[in-house]
A and B are shown apart, each in its own frame.
Chain A
Amino acid sequence: MTLASPRDFEPESLQPQGWLRYLSFSLDHKVIGIQYLVCGFLFYLIGGALAGVIRTELASPISNFVSRETYNQVLTLHGTIMIFLWIVPVVNGAFGNYLIPFYVGARDMAFPRLNAVAFWLIPPAGILLISSYFIAGGAAQSGWTAYPPLSISTPAIGQVIWILSVLLLGGSSIFGGINFIATILKLRRPGLKMMQLPMYCWAMLGTSILVVLSTPVLAGTLILLSFDIIAHTGFFNPTLGGNVVVYQHLFWFYSHPAVYIMVLPAFGLVSEILPVHARKPLFGYTTMVYSILGIVVLGLIVWAHHMFTSGTPPWMRLFFTIATSFIAVPTGIKFFNWLATLWGGKIALNSAMLFACAFIVNFVFGGITGVALAQVPFDIHVHDTYFVVAHFHYIVYGGTVFVIFSAVYHWFPKFTGRMLNEHLGRLHFLLTFIGFNLCFAPQHWLGLNGMPRRVAEYDPQFAFWNQVSSVGALLMAISTLPFLVNVVVSALRGQPAGDNPWKALTPEWLTSSPPPVENWLGEAPLVEHPYGYGTEQGRLDLEATTGQEIWSGSRR
């Protein structure tokens, strides 16, 4: 435990300045946040290209684009990259690091060096994972779930590298989680109460608790699995007396909470974005907090709904059905509260808002299919089919990735001091929304009618809707272009944003854009009402307006 101030360690002349600091072992939480975001986006492009390979293969019913082994490697890498290198790092690491110190009124995270270490574990782990494709035997072929005995019997090197990189990424995630918990609980500015924190802090607190509780279980499981592969132990290998279902329990003990690790921060981000652009307080702050905590608790006890067709006793199936269904209650509270936040607002339909509202539509759809999937008899038919594929893409893409884009449109002015182009933003939204629904909505029907997931070939009767899905995937790929152009051009030549273009009240907007090192030149502001829209400023405006405006404002 050192008590020296950061200046003792970093004489300014030694730290790279300008853009080079984004390639350095910077301790600034804002730099680390951007590092997470850009790094994650690069992996998103790779994962997206792999998705393109999958959809190209599935454009025809026969396996004719890549070999079957390659196809299984591609789907394994796609899932692993999208989860561990894009969504989890970005929605936790990027926005968490950038925003949490602002929200608690701190000048940095609690453990800046651990923070930098957590980020710098990610690029090597990602490169390790992807490079395993090029070695003899290729990358792992057993899906991101790596169920034994398949993961034991497929080429060993790729599988072991997969385990190593997931262990590194899990470690990074745990470091980040510890850091968030410590920052939120211990670095709050004096006078700032827990129930005054912006909602994203609560979401990150809940998420980090899940990370810290469940990721070590995954790590232990994968270490045992690697022993089974390398040392021929028999933990999960049935021919040596092991039990494959135990692996599934341990794996999903992490990997179902992982879904909440991916969506809870997104819930938090939406709770920040909607009030600003609707000019209304976040509706039902207290119930939002409790529903986050409810989701955290319930999220830990639902994992076996991934295993309704494995060997689980009936009473467990019943228990997990009910626990899973009840997650819909706190989740529903959040969605109704968001709708109530919009109700009666002065909604600016900009790109950030469009993506946030599309998130609501997509996630409600994915949530409804999720409650259906929680019912054992329903799940028994559609488990491991394209219905499930469609469901979880509605959750993690239609949910979280839409929120990531929304958050980029919302916070880009803060990151860079420049606005994103609104027209390109809307084009991006339109292409993404149409492409996404075109890609994944038909897959529900495919799954219901008999197309299993993770196949390179399928019954020709499914060809049409698979081709529709592939066209949707193509649209999604194209939709990335206006976004990339927008971000690059706007960062260099965008319209200057000023410090607070949205007139937002949360603390990150109460400093310059981009913010200085250590966030505020003077003392950190004490924001007791992060969502205090319409209270003082709104009333003043109301009295200053003309009668006609009041009339039209209240009539329409």
Chain B
Amino acid sequence: MALVLAGLWVGQNVSLLPVDASSNAPVYDSLFRVLFSIGTILFLGIVGLLIFSLIRFRRRSWETSDGEAIEGNLPLEIVWTAIPAIVVLFVGIYSYDIYERMGGMVPLNDHSAMHSSMGSSMEDASMDSMAPEGQKGAVPAARVWGGINGAEVAAGALPVELTAMQFAFIFHYPDGDITSGELHVPADRPIELRMKANDVIHAFWVPQFRLKQDVIPGQPTVLTFTATRPGTYPIVCAELCGPYHGGMRTNVVVHEPEAFDTWLEKNRPAPPPLPAASGAATASTSAPAAGAPPSKA
């Protein structure tokens, strides 16, 4: 009893995790606390039993006899088969529920993400993965292989494209045609991160978001998340990708929504098609991709 209480206390009060900064994180943390409590109870119980046995049943120097010849005890063995089975079943169902809440159980290929046409809103989730070629506009929708797809975020999510390469993450905002080495996101708005890798496998990991997804060459992947707590957090590559793997990191900056709009405005490249916009060279941090001033036409 004291053991259970101790385990629960440790599980609830000892914090081993970094600050939570996404809608995933509190859910994850509640799972962590449950696992930590159960683990502490089991570990303390087993180690306590072991140490007690070692002391209580140690061989004294004058003793030459054997211990009792207990070959087994079927009811007891059934009990300690059943207890782990129940614990494991409970943990499994609970973590399934957690995963569901994190949006991980949404079937793949429901999203027709990774549109080649920028800025278009998400097509609805009804695309048949068997025949992606039938998509209008003859743009074969890339198959989405994995990732945690938030169920409810199909509409209104901010799309961001992530290209991982040795040894950098490059972010591109199709909405504003902004390219950035840091990820800037507004708080409390779903982000749809469309990820692709150029060379080897990388992994996108934000510890404070409790989120990780491999970025696999040849397999475009969509990761959806909602940041909640403004601040700057590290983005870490978590899959060995070469010599500079340890240096492949950047930051995610979570803004208040208004601050994000400001950031978006500030970094938006000057619209090149307008002939009057010749003085747009001040958009310094923006990408040159489409922002090159029209040469003399």
CB of A444 to closest CB in B, whole Å? 8
- Given the interface pairs A361-B47, A365-B43, the reply to whether A343 lies near B57 with Cβ below 8 Å is yes
Contacts of B39 in A (CB 8 A): 368-369, 371-372
Q: Mark A444-475, 1 if CB is under 8 A from B, else 0.
A: 11001110111111110000000000000000
Total A-B pairs, Cβ < 8 A: 304
Q: Which chain B residues border A384 with CB–CB below 8 Å?
A: 203, 205, 212, 238-239
User: Do A538 and B67 touch across chains, with their CB atoms under 8 A apart?
Assistant: yes
Q: Is B214 positioned at the interface, with any CB of A under 8 Å from its CB?
A: yes
Report the minimal beta-carbon distance from B31 to chain A, rounded to whole angstroms. Answer: 6
Q: Which residue from chain B places its CB closest to the CB of A322 in the assembled complex?
A: B92
* With contact pairs A72-B240, A238-B217, A244-B218 given, residues A344 and B70 touching in the complex (Cβ less than 8 Å): yes
* Contact across chains for B200 and A445 when beta carbons are under 8 A apart: no
B134-142, B177-185, B241-249: which lies at the A interface? B241-249
Complex CA gap A380/B98 in Å reads 12
Contact A537 B66 (CB under 8 A): yes
A40 to B67, CA, bound (A): 36
CA distance A556 to B95 in the complex (A): 44
Confirm or deny: A284 has a beta carbon within 8 angstroms of a beta carbon on chain B.
yes
Closest-by-CB residue of B relative to A70 is B243
Q: A150-B242, A538-B66 known; A287 and B72 CB under 8 Å?
A: yes
Decide if A455 touches B104 in the complex (CB within 8 Å): no
Residue positions of A touching B, CB distance < 8 A? 63, 67-69, 71-72, 141-143, 147, 149-150, 153-154, 238-239, 242-245, 278-281, 283-287, 309-314, 317-318, 321-322, 325-326, 328-329, 332-333, 335-337, 339-340, 342-349, 357, 360-361, 364-365, 368-369, 371-372, 375-378, 380-381, 383-385, 444-445, 448-450, 452-459, 531-535, 537-538, 541-542, 545, 549, 552-553, 556
B207 within 8 A of A: yes
Taken together as a complex, chains A and B put the C-alpha atoms of A317 and B211 apart, in Å, by: 16
Residue in A closest to B149 when the chains form the complex, CB atoms:
A314
Whether B240 pairs with A143 at a CB distance below 8 angstroms is yes
Q: Which of B106, B205, B217, B237 contacts A314 (CB 8 A)?
A: B106
With A279-B65, A369-B39: A340-B70 Cβ-Cβ less than 8 Å:
yes
A284-B72, A309-B213 are known contacts. Are A339 and B17 too (CB-CB below 8 A)?
A: no
A387 nearest CB neighbor, chain B only: B16
**Residue among A71, A311, A332 making CB contact with B80, cutoff 8 Å:** A332
Which residues from A are CB-within-8-Å of B26?
none
What is the distance, in angstroms, from A447's C-beta to the closest C-beta of chain B?
9
- C-alpha gap A313/B107 in the complex (Å): 7
Contact: A309 with B66, CB < 8 Å? no
Q: In the complex, are the beta carbons of B68 and A380 less than 8 A apart?
A: no
| Besides the known contacts A383-B203, A541-B66, 5 further A-B residue pairs in the complex with CB atoms under 8 A apart | A149-B201, A238-B218, A325-B89, A380-B210, A380-B211
Is the Cβ of B207 less than 8 Å from the Cβ of A380? no
Pick the residue among A149, A278, A383 that contacts B217 (CB under 8 A).
A149
CB pair B35–A372 under 8 Å, yes or no, is: yes
The residue that B236 contacts in the complex, of A67, A329, A452, A533, with Cβ under 8 A, is A452
Q: Is B116 among interface residues, defined by CB-CB distance under 8 A?
A: no
Contact A150/B241 with A325-B92, A375-B92 known, Cβ cut-off 8 Å: yes
Within 8 Å CB of B42, what residues of A? Answer: 364, 368
- How distant is A368 from chain B, measured CB to nearest CB, in Å? 4
Beta-carbon contacts of B61-83 to A below 8 Å, as 1s and 0s?
01111111111110011001101
* B296 in the interface (beta carbon within 8 A): no
Question: Which residues of A are found within 8 Å of B246, using beta-carbon distances?
Answer: 63, 68, 452, 454-458
Q: Are A318 and B96 in contact (CB under 8 A)?
A: yes
Stretch at the interface among B48-56, B155-163, B261-269: B48-56
Closest to B243 in A: A68
CB pair A448–B17 under 8 Å, yes or no, is yes
Instruction: State in angstroms the CA–CA spacing of A371 and B90 once bound together.
Output: 12
B-chain residues with CB within 8 Å of residue A153 when the two chains form the complex: 199-200, 242
Known A142-B240, A347-B53: A448·B106 in contact at CB below 8 Å:
no
> Please, could you name 19 A-B residue pairs with CB atoms under 8 Å apart, sorted by A?
A68-B244, A68-B246, A238-B216, A243-B219, A245-B216, A281-B70, A317-B104, A321-B96, A326-B88, A342-B57, A364-B43, A364-B46, A371-B91, A380-B104, A381-B211, A452-B237, A453-B238, A455-B246, A456-B246
**Given the complex, which residues of B lie within 8 Å of A371, measured CB to CB?**
35, 39, 88, 91
Chain A neighbourhood of B218, CB < 8 A: 238-239, 242-244
Q: How far is it, in angstroms, between the C-alpha of A296 and the C-alpha of B219 when the chains are bound?
A: 33
Give chain B residues whose Cβ lies under 8 Å from the Cβ of A310.
Answer: 146, 214, 216
